[in-house]
Amino acid sequence: MASTATLELNDEEHDEAFLSEAISGLQNERKELPCKYFYDERGSQLFDRICELPEYYPTRTERSIMQERVDEMAIAIGPDALLIEYGSGSSLKTRLLLDVLDSPAAYVPVDISRDHLLKSSEALAQDYLGLEVLPVCADFTQPFGIPATRVEPRRRVVYFPGSTIGNFTRDRATALLEGVAETCGPGGALLIGVDLKKDRQTLERAYDDSQGVTAAFNRNVLVRMNRELDADFEIDRFQHRAVWIEDAGRVEMHLVSEVEQTVEIDGEAIHFAEGEHICTEHSHKYTLDAFAEMGENAGLRVSQVWSDARRRFSVQLLEVAP
C-alpha cells in the first residue's frame, strides 16, 4: 500500500488558494486563471484522454522516445536514486522508468489533485511490490517537503515529463528549475520533457482537437469554480480557443465570453464584455539551445538529450554540479 502520511496540502488550504488566485486573476485587466486548477479528478481524466488523441503529438512522441531510449536514461540516472515526479498524474510514463531503474530508493509522486494522486499511487504500490511509494499532495511550484525514505538514496532525481515546463513564462520556468536544483542538491539531476518549436498548424491542432476533449478540459476550470468556489458561470457561454503566438513562442489557451455577462464568485462580481478572453494556459516551445541556456541560468547543465527522428520533442537530462 502507498503511504499517505506525507500529504501536505489540505482541502481548506487548497480552496483558499484557489479562491484567492481565481478572483485576483479575473480582476486583472487581462483576465487569467492558473492552469494548475484544471486538475481535479475529472480534469486529470480529461487530460489522460487528451494524451490519446491523434492531434496531441507530445505524449505520443515522448512515450516513443522513452520506449526506445529508457535503458540509456536509467543508466544515466544510476542505481539507488530517489525518483521525485512533478505533476505525476496517472504516472503512465513513470512505469517505463521504474521497469528499468536499478534499485530505486523510493518514488515520490507530487500532484495537486489529491484523489487522482492517491489512486495512482495505490496502483503503483501494488504493481511494484517492494518499491516505497510516498505521495505528496502539493503545488510543486511552491516549497514542499521530501519525505524520509527507508533506503538512503545515492542521489535525488526529479522527473518532470509531459512538457509541463512550457506552461510557465521564461522567468517562472527559470525559478522552477532553480527550485528543482535546490530540491535535488549537489549531484542530483532532472529528467524532463521539453516540447520543441514547429509549424503553427501542428501546434494549434494539438490544443484544439476535433472531438472537443481539450475544450471540455479547458472549461473544467469553470466547472470547478462553480462547484468549489460558489461561482455561477454559465459554462456554455464560454468558447474554447487555442492560438500560436509567434513572438512569444507559445500556444495560448483561452476561454472567450460569447456575450456580455457578470459572474459571481463567492459574492464577488466579475464583469465580462462580449468577446473578452480568460487566458487559462501558456505552452511555450523551445529550441534546444534556448532551453540549455535557461537551465544553465538555473544551475542545471544539460547532460544528455534524446529526441525523435523529426525533432518534434525532446527528453533531456540536466545535472546539478557535484
164-182: pLDDT as tens digits: 999 999 999 999 999 999 9
Q: Domains along the chain?
A: 57-198+286-320 (3.40.50.150)
- Which grid cell sits at 177? 528549475
- Are the C-beta atoms of 31 and 25 separated by less than 8 Å? yes
User: Cell 480534469 belongs to which residue?
Assistant: 43
Tell which residue, 136, 145, 165, 191, has the closest CA to residue 35.
165
pTM equals 0.89
Strands 313-320 and 300-307: antiparallel
Concatenate the DSSP letters of all residues of 117-129 into one string: HHHHHHHHHHHST
Are 174 and 294 in contact by the 8 Å Cβ rule? The answer is yes
Residue at 9: amino acid letter? L
Neighbours of 201 (CB within 10 A): 9
Task: State the Cα angle at 202 between 214 and 60, rounded to 5°.
Answer: 70
- Read off the pLDDT of residues 231-251 as tens digits, 9 standing for 90 and up: 999 999 999 999 999 999 999
**Cα–chain center distance at 90:** 12
Q: For 81-136, write each residue's pLDDT tens digit.
A: 999 999 887 777 899 999 999 999 999 999 988 888 899 999 999 999 999 999 99
In the structure grid, which three cell numbers stand for residue 147, read together?
519525505
96 exposure class (CB count in 10 Å sphere: 0-12, 13-18, 19+): middle
Q: Smallest Cα–Cα separation from 14: which of 142, 163, 135?
A: 142
Percent of the chain with pLDDT over 70: 96
Question: pLDDT tens digit string along 27-72?
Answer: 999 999 999 999 888 998 999 899 999 999 999 999 999 999 999 9
Amino acid at 58: P
Residue 245: beta bridge partners? 250
